[in-house]
Amino acid sequence: MTREEAFTQFLLRMGDNTLILGHRVSEWCGHAPVLEEDIALANTALDLIGQTQMWLGLAGEVQGEGKSADDLAFLRDAWDFRNVLLCEVPNGDFGRTLMRQFLFDAWHSIQLGRLMKSSDERVAAIAEKASKEVAYHLERSADTVVGLGDGTEESRRRMQEALDYLWPYVGEMFQSDDVDAEMVKAGIAPDPASLREEYDALISRILGDATLTIPESRFAHKGGRTGAMHTEHLGHLLTQMQWLQRAYPGAKW
């Protein structure tokens, strides 16, 4: 694997995370429990899709096959996606959506903090821009997790169920492979495993405030960030997200 190939994979991982999660969150548009949350979720989705444009735009550039961010988003099949499985699992109820958001935001904010010191200045610039948005996402999702976790009997039960369901998807964010080793060597990105300690400290504090119990198991589903095996949910998501470009190739806004 060349440096460029590894770099492209890394950028696809960043961009596919934000693309797929952004699409998932956008599914709430018009359906959220209250108007204010509806708008907030749509804003989060838009932020994530904006970040996707930057990551996938750079991925296309580094890849050097003349592909645009749109080509990468709309013309790849499920096995070409490199997002972690956490981003593609269905929304479930509002509590599960916000729990997923929190578990991702916590990782995302730490990752972007490290990427701001990347040896590649394009990566550092994207991270710098995205980190301000993500700091807000994290503040909001953490507050909501605490509010619902330390809330009514029903909201607490739902948040604990959400955490139990999503927990096996957390570990994948910290798995390292050859791509990561190459990125570490080039000083472009940190070793994912090196984020775990900071992550655990952050989520333990918030989930503690939320009176929720972190499951003991460290079992982790995997296969998303390597593309080896996505969940069955990703294909369904892509049929929604990609149908227009598939049915009307090259259609412009």
| Cβ 116 vs Cβ 131: under 8 Å | yes
Joined together, the tokens standing for residue 72 give 């990468």
Cβ distance to other proteins smaller for residue 44 or 160: 44
Selected from 35, 228, 247, 251, the binder of other proteins by CB under 8 A is 35
Stretch that binds other proteins, among 16-24, 32-40, 118-126, 156-164 (CB under 8 A): 32-40
Q: How far apart are the first and last CA of the chain?
A: 37
The nearest distance, CB 13 to other proteins, in angstroms, is: 28
Site for other proteins in 73-132 (CB under 8 A): none
Identity of the residue, 61 or 143, whose beta carbon is nearer to other proteins in the bound complex:
143
In the complex, minimum distance from the CB of residue 140 to other proteins, in angstroms, rounded to a whole number: 6
Query: By C-beta, is 155 or 245 nearer to other proteins?
Result: 155
Q: What are residue 86's phi and psi, to 5 degrees? A: -50, -35
Cβ 33 to other proteins shortest distance, Å: 11
136 counts as binding other proteins under rule CB under 8 A: yes
* Of 27 and 71, CB closest to other proteins: 27
CA distances to 5, 159, 188 from 148, in Å: 43, 7, 38
Q: Is 29 in the site for other proteins (CB under 8 A)?
A: no
Cβ(146)–Cβ(95) under 8 Å? Answer: no
Helix or strand (DSSP H, E) at 222? none
SS (H, E, C) 126-170: HHHHHHHHHHHHHHHHHHHHHHHHCCCHHHHHHHHHHHHHHHHHC
What is the number of residues in the chain? 253
CB of 9: closest distance to other proteins in angstroms?
34
Q: Which is nearer to other proteins, 12 or 142 (CB)?
A: 142
Q: What is the nearest approach in angstroms of other proteins to the Cβ of residue 144?
A: 8
| Residue 188 phi, psi (nearest 5) | -85, -40
- What does the binding site for other proteins look like in residue numbers (CB under 8 A)? 34-36, 39-40, 43, 136, 139-140, 143, 147
